[in-house]
Amino acid sequence: MLTTVTLYTKPGCHLCEPVADTIRAAAEVRRFDFVTRNILEGPADFAHYQFAIPVVTVNGEEIARYRLSLSELLSRLDCVAAG
């Protein structure tokens, strides 16, 4: 099963673009599904993340808020792949 990296964001989020760029950079060296979720489109997402974006999860487990480095993401993806 392919790992899923999810970015919780909303339009106009200035902190979200660098995190999205980091995820796209990781996609150049690791294989995973990248999903973007606009918190304004889901009441539960909005209630949970309205003051916290960007939030990144890997297979549903939160790994970062506000910032994410490429090394952090690659390390987490390697851990998931190792089981």
Q: Which two tokens stand for residue 78?
A: 């390697």
Q: How many helices (H) and strands (E) does the chain have?
A: 3, 4
Q: Which two tokens stand for residue 68?
A: 């994410």
Domain holding 37, by residue range, is 4-82
Instruction: Read off the CATH number of the domain in which 19 is found.
Output: 3.40.30.10
pLDDT in tens, 15-71: 999 999 999 999 999 999 999 999 999 999 999 999 999 999 999 999 999 999 999
Per the structure, the count of domains in the chain is 1
Q: Are 63 and 57 in contact (CB under 8 A)?
A: yes
Distance between CA atoms of 55 and 37, rounded to whole angstroms?
Answer: 10
> How sure is the predictor about 74, in pLDDT bands with cuts at 50, 70 and 90?
very high
